[in-house]
Amino acid sequence: MKRDAMKHQGSRLELTCEQNVHKLKSIDLIGEISGESGRQIQRYIRLTELIFQLMEKADEKSIPVTAGTELSYIGLEN
């Protein structure tokens, strides 16, 4: 549920500097409301980039959020 809510935060691409500041404040605000840090919220959002099988493992807490975040940066070659 957290993942779905945070997924709607949108992309940071093509944002002006002022919009980036607003975006960061939004992430910190969401973190404050949920009792998490802004950085942890960013990690949850990044988990949405995982393939489905790894996303399930992160949801089940079979892999830690930080490990899932790092795995999300590994690209698949076609």
H helices present in the chain, as ranges: 2-7, 17-34, 38-47, 52-59, 65-71
Task: Round the average pLDDT of the chain to a whole number and report it.
Answer: 79
Task: Decide: 63 and 54 in contact? Cβ < 8 Å.
Answer: yes
Q: Kindly tell me if the per-residue pLDDT of 78 is higher than 80.
A: no
Mean pLDDT of 69-75: 90
pTM of the model: 0.63
Mean pLDDT of 44-56: 93
Mean pLDDT of 1-6: 56
Tell me the three state secondary structure of residue 62: coil
